[in-house]
Amino acid sequence: MPAEPAFIMGVILGVIVTLLVQAYGRRKAKKSDDNIENSVLTQVKREHQEEIAHLKDRIVVMERIVTDEGTRVSKEIAQLR
């Protein structure tokens, strides 16, 4: 008993639709993963920039202490007391 052409076309159409839905789902999931990854990388980058700015400020203070002749730091310490 041969299969009807309409049945065969229906099966083929069902397979094609299933593959398209799966491809769409994979694409959407990948895009979502990329967005999450980008937001995490942006947060890490922001934290690194803040840390670098903090370290630069500390370097400026250390350079000022090292290049001081001893009088300025002594006066500032005395003023803090």
| Measured distance CA(29)–CA(41) in Å, rounded | 18
Of 78, 59, 75, nearest to 67 by C-alpha is 59
Give the total residue count for the chain: 81
Does the pTM of the predicted model rise above 0.85? no
Q: Please say whether the beta carbons of 65 and 73 come within 8 A.
A: yes
Structure tokens belonging to residue 78: 């005395």
> How do residues 13-29 score in pLDDT, each as one tens digit?
999 999 999 999 988 88
The pLDDT tens digits along the chain (81 residues) read 566 888 889 899 999 999 999 999 988 888 777 777 778 888 889 999 999 999 999 999 888 878 877 677 778 888 888
